[in-house]
């Protein structure tokens, strides 16, 4: 008879109280008890009902984690009822209630032992819990064994509810002068608390009205309610994806290092959908469609979006934010400046249109200059009269900002020209995380006045201080942030110097961006520089300056985006590089040819084979003419074109090119050179496609022998060779030989790449097909459930081409075709 391992406690809870349940289980196990907890012990793919029944039967006692959600849940009653039947009087303490939120007990529950944790700090709650379980308990005759096993390893103590978030990246300090917005804050709180699942709230309004400040204040006020608060810069899709990917690292997800961004995005969403008490803030998100793919569809968390776009209905709950109420503006100016002159504050607020950004700049100037509110109003009116002739309409918010900016920048110019120059440079970069090292290391590309300042720490510090004094920038200690509207006003105000600063910015970033941006070792730096690379290249192209640097930077940026799987963004960036290169550098320049090659690869991965082929044929013609037929770059171009022809079904054309490439590689590079092996592998695939399975097998076995010997059995190239050979064996009818190789490849790819990597999915499908064909349906079902069924839970748009195809096949196999 099978021996049953009894445990001390089965912990019954709802998902809303998972944090409490995990904390309770942890404390009990630290004390030496054993527990069963759904979050820790019920494995994916197991039968929930059977697991629950086994847990209640094998536990000496049951703890019900009580809250309003628990009492209203449909499936919790059977969990505690089993324990109640065993001990209806409560004499043995078989059923314990741990109350974690105020709730009203009814019926049979009122007679059960009650441990109250509400309103206690962590130490008090721990004491109450352990004292409570000791009363009336049946102590085991021996100390319970350690509850851990190979299937369950909880290595980090759950955070006690009420402590501050362990994961958060708020990029700005809290505004000590935040004023008003009482109704808006209340409406936002109510909206986010109105449902049991993940909710999205959009704050929309014109630039400068305080959208970001409201989101910041919400995050700071409510930080004790969340376990995760993550801020995502969302003005462009590449930066959005990059910030989202960093969250995967903070969560320490298995797919955090995946090259395919779709894998990372889905991994983060899946993680959040299974958790509670998280807040995502998408700042400056003007494209609802772009944001949708990043919003979790479940879980007990919240999403906050700031946007200038009001059209969010159908996607999220929109909340319009306008200028401050006059009373709020007056309160802000009095609080910000310390000047208790409400009449003058009212007049100044009226002149500034109650615009928060303008009010902040005015308040900063008044404080720094030590002048009165009335004196600043006189300055404002004087400058506004000068600006109205050639700047913005009086009703345009930029009119207010440009006026306050001119007043402040005139004052900075009197004492620190380096501060003015620094702000001019920052206007042509991304608004956030303009880090000091970037500026200092690129000093040689800056105008002399600023170059001297940034290489002298004291002068650079003075320049930053001069801008902070008037609220023109924020400084975190190592990086500068500038409001987007301030950047726009600075660029608009520059005339003859606009080209000079646009060129300085793009050369600065071009110098810093890694040369080998496709190398994963450089991705951390690429990620940080990405927003600046995109912004600087855009402004340089618009100003028609530094064409060579702009094309070079755009090409390297495009390669990084391509390698991360952001194909749409890569295409746009590489088209810029190619267009500038062709126009300015010429069609035969190496940088132009490089961008052509990278653009063609991107188009191919997007499925545009005709577009890829057209570019590759043009590129190959130039390389043959300029470099010769045996140059490595020419051979690479030939290989790429052959793969495109293969994808289009032109196998004869592909084979002709591949045989030519292989002959040159063997003669020039040697039979074991990586490029030679790649050429052999490509030719074997074409032979297979043409039906020459014997020829394909002979080449594949030769390639596999060399790769195993030189690279090792777990190298990706070796696994590719094994996979290809297995496919050929399958085609020849050697199903057992194919199965053995496929099982080995799948196991290695699971361990190295993870269960949801596209290559792992391909291996799983190959093995599934073989197992079905040899009638091993039990093992086929195991592969289907463990390695492929998860694809049905994914949005097809989030998957790559291979996994979309596999998903369709799995859907047909399981009878869930859409």
* Structural tokens at position 162: 């009420």
Distance CA 553, CA 573 (A): 9
Same domain, yes or no: 14 and 96: yes
Residue with tokens 């301030």: 486
**Virtual torsion, Cα 315, 288, 791, 716, nearest 10 deg:** -160
Same domain, yes or no: 180 and 256: yes
Distance CA 171, CA 430 (A): 14
- Count CB neighbours of 370 within 10 A: 8
The residue-averaged pLDDT of 300-309 equals 86
| Domain end position, chosen among 320, 339, 365 | 320
Better pLDDT: 810 or 595? 595
**What is the model's pLDDT at position 140?**
43
Same domain, yes or no: 18 and 89: yes
Same domain, yes or no: 716 and 805: yes
The residue-averaged pLDDT of 79-97 equals 66
Which CB contacts under 8 angstroms, 24+ apart, belong to 629-637? 629/664, 630/664, 630/668, 632/675, 633/593, 635/661, 635/664, 635/665, 635/675, 635/679, 636/597, 637/597
Same domain, yes or no: 176 and 71: no
For residue 634, being part of any structural domain is answered with: no
For residue 23, being part of any structural domain is answered with: yes
Q: Which domain range does residue 269 map to?
A: 167-320
**What is the model's pLDDT at position 415?**
85
* Structural tokens at position 74: 């449909």
Nearest to 228 by CA among 310, 292, 166: 166
Write the CATH number for 784: 1.25.40.10
For residue 388, being part of any structural domain is answered with: no
**Virtual torsion, Cα 135, 138, 139, 140, nearest 10 deg:** -160
Per-residue pLDDT reduced to its tens digit, 353-400: 888 888 888 888 888 878 888 888 888 787 765 544 445 455 555 566
Nearest to 44 by CA among 564, 633, 647, 790: 790
The residue-averaged pLDDT of 88-97 equals 70
Distance CA 391, CA 489 (A): 10
Distance CA 259, CA 262 (A): 9
Nearest to 160 by CA among 47, 297, 257, 23: 23
The Cα-based distances of 618 to 301, 551, 612 in angstroms read 51, 19, 10
Asked whether residue 273 carries a pLDDT value surpassing 60, the answer given is: yes
Per-residue pLDDT reduced to its tens digit, 772-784: 888 888 888 888 8
Listed in sequence order, the residues at least 6 apart from 718 whose beta carbon sits closer than 8 Å to its beta carbon are 704, 707, 708, 711, 712
* Structural tokens at position 310: 């009001």
Same domain, yes or no: 698 and 804: yes
The sign of the dihedral angle between the CA atoms of 259, 261, 266, 272 is positive
DSSP H helical ranges for 581-692 = 590-605, 609-627, 632-648, 651-668, 674-690
| Domain end position, chosen among 320, 337, 364 | 320
* Structural tokens at position 536: 């600087």
Nearest to 707 by CA among 687, 724, 690, 721: 721
Return the ∠ at Cα 582 (arms to 581 and 586), rounded to 5°.
Answer: 95
The Cα-based distances of 123 to 9, 30, 117, 277 in angstroms read 21, 14, 11, 22
Distance CA 274, CA 15 (A): 9
Asked whether residue 816 carries a pLDDT value surpassing 60, the answer given is: no
| Domain end position, chosen among 320, 350, 374 | 320
Nearest to 319 by CA among 175, 397, 231, 211: 211
For residue 750, being part of any structural domain is answered with: yes
Same domain, yes or no: 179 and 130: no
Same domain, yes or no: 94 and 215: no
The residue-averaged pLDDT of 408-424 equals 87
Residue with tokens 């297995």: 726
**What is the model's pLDDT at position 558?**
92
Distance CA 573, CA 570 (A): 5
Listed in sequence order, the residues at least 6 apart from 221 whose beta carbon sits closer than 8 Å to its beta carbon are 185
Q: Which residues, in sequence order, are bridge partners of residue 167?
A: 228
Distance CA 344, CA 641 (A): 72
Asked whether the beta carbons of 278 and 226 are under 8 A apart, the reply is yes
Same domain, yes or no: 189 and 314: yes
For residue 158, being part of any structural domain is answered with: no
Number of domains in the chain: 3
Per-residue pLDDT reduced to its tens digit, 644-671: 998 888 999 999 999 999 999 999 888 8
* Structural tokens at position 401: 């900002």
Longest Cα separation, the chain: 95
Per-residue pLDDT reduced to its tens digit, 103-162: 776 655 655 667 888 777 788 888 888 888 875 544 444 444 343 333 333 445 665 555
**Cα(first)–Cα(last) distance of the chain, in Å?**
46
**What is the model's pLDDT at position 82?**
60
User: 95 phi and psi, to 5 degrees?
Assistant: -115, 120
For residue 385, being part of any structural domain is answered with: no
Characterize the bridge pairing of strands 7-12 and 317-320: unpaired
Distance CA 600, CA 619 (A): 10
Residue with tokens 């590759």: 616
Write the CATH number for 124: 3.40.50.10140
Distance CA 154, CA 40 (A): 8
Same domain, yes or no: 285 and 181: yes
For residue 601, being part of any structural domain is answered with: no
Same domain, yes or no: 187 and 90: no
Q: Which residues, in sequence order, are bridge partners of residue 687?
A: none
Asked whether residue 407 carries a pLDDT value surpassing 60, the answer given is: yes
Asked whether residue 42 carries a pLDDT value surpassing 90, the answer given is: no
Same domain, yes or no: 71 and 180: no
Residue with tokens 């402040």: 408
* Strand order across the beta sheet in which 479-481 lies: 434-435, 479-481, 474-475
**What is the model's pLDDT at position 295?**
86
The residue-averaged pLDDT of 576-584 equals 89
**What is the model's pLDDT at position 739?**
93
Asked whether the beta carbons of 235 and 286 are under 8 A apart, the reply is yes
For residue 339, being part of any structural domain is answered with: no
* Structural tokens at position 170: 């708020």
Asked whether residue 539 carries a pLDDT value surpassing 90, the answer given is: yes
């Amino acid at each position: 008879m099978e021996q049953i391992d009894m445990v001390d406690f089965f912990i019954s809870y709802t998902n809303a109280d998972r944090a409490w349940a995990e904390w309770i289980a942890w404390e009990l196990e630290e004390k030496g008890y054993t527990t069963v907890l759904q979050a820790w012990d019920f494995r994916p793919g197991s039968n929930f009902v059977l697991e629950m029944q086994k847990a209640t039967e094998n536990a000496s006692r049951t703890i019900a984690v009580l809250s309003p959600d628990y009492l209203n849940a449909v499936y919790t009653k059977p969990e505690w009822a089993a324990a109640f039947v065993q001990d209806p009087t409560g004499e043995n303490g078989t059923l314990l209630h741990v109350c974690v939120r105020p709730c009203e007990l009814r019926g049979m529950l009122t007679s059960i032992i009650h441990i109250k944790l509400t309103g206690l700090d962590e130490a008090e709650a721990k004491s109450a819990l352990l004292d409570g379980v000791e009363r009336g308990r049946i102590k085991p005759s021996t100390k319970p064994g350690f509850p851990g096993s190979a299937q369950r390893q909880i290595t980090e103590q759950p955070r006690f509810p009420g402590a501050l978030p362990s994961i958060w990246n708020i990029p700005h300090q809290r505004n000590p002068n935040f004023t008003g917005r009482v109704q808006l804050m209340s409406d936002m709180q109510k909206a986010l608390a109105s449902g049991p699942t993940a909710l999205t709230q959009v704050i929309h309004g014109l630039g400068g009205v305080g959208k970001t400040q409201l989101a910041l204040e919400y995050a700071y006020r409510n930080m004790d309610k969340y376990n995760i608060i993550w801020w995502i810069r969302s003005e462009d899709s590449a930066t959005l994806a990059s910030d989202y990917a960093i969250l995967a690292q903070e969560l320490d997800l298995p797919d955090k290092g995946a090259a395919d961004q779709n894998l990372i995005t889905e991994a983060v969403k899946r993680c959040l959908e299974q958790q509670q008490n998280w807040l995502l803030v998408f700042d400056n998100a003007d494209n609802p469609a772009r944001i949708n793919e990043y919003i979790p569809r479940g879980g007990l968390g919240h999403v906050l979006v700031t946007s200038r776009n009001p059209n969010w209905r159908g996607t999220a709950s929109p909340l319009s934010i306008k200028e401050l109420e006059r009373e709020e503006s007056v309160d802000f100016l009095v609080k910000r400046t310390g000047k208790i002159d409400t009449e003058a504050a009212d007049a100044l607020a009226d002149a500034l249109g109650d615009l928060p950004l303008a009010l902040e700049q005015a308040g900063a100037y008044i404080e720094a200059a030590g002048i009165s509110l009335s004196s600043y109003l006189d300055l404002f009116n004087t400058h506004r009269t000068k600006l109205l002739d050639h700047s913005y309409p009086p009703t345009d918010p930029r009119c207010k900002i440009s006026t306050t900016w001119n007043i402040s920048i005139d004052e900075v110019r009197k004492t620190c020209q380096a501060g003015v120059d620094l702000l001019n440079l920052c206007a042509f970069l991304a608004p956030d995380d303009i880090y000091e090292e970037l500026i200092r290391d690129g000093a040689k590309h800056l105008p002399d006045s600023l170059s001297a300042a940034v290489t002298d720490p004291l002068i650079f510090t003075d320049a930053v201080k001069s801008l902070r004094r008037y609220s023109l920038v924020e400084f975190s200690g190592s990086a500068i942030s500038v409001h987007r509207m301030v950047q726009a006003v600075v660029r608009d105000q520059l005339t003859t110097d606009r080209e000079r600063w646009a060129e300085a910015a793009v050369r600065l970033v071009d110098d810093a961006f890694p040369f080998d941006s496709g190398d994963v070792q450089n991705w951390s730096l690429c990620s940080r520089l990405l927003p600046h690379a995109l912004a600087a290249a855009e402004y340089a192209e618009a100003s028609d300056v530094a064409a060579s640097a702009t094309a070079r930077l755009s090409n390297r940026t495009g390669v990084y985006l391509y390698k991360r799987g952001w194909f749409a963004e890569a295409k746009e960036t590489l088209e810029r590089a190619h267009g500038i290169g062709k126009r300015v550098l010429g069609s035969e320049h190496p940088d132009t040819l490089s961008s052509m090659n990278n653009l063609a690869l991107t188009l191919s991965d997007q499925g545009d084979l005709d577009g890829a082929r057209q570019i590759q044929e043009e590129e190959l013609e130039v390389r043959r003419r300029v470099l010769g037929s045996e140059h490595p770059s020419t051979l690479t171009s030939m290989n790429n074109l052959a793969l495109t022809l293969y994808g289009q079904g032109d196998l004869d054309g592909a084979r002709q090119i591949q045989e030519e490439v292989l002959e040159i590689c063997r003669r020039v590079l040697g039979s074991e050179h990586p490029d030679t092996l790649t050429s052999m592998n490509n030719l074997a695939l074409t032979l297979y496609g043409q039906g020459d399975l014997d020829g394909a097998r002979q080449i594949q076995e030769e390639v596999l022998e060399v790769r195993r010997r030189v690279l090792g059995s777990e190298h990706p190239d070796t696994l590719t060779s094994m996979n290809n050979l297995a496919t050929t064996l399958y085609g020849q009818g050697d199903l057992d030989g194919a199965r053995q190789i496929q099982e080995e490849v799948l196991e290695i790819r699971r361990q190295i790449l993870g269960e949801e990597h596209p290559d792992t999915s391909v291996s799983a499908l190959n093995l599934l097909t073989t197992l079905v064909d040899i009638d091993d349906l039990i093992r086929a079902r195991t592969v289907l459930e463990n390695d492929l069924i998860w694809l049905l839970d994914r949005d097809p748009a989030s998957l790559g081409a291979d996994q979309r195809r596999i998903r369709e096949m799995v859907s047909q196999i399981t009878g869930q075709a859409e």
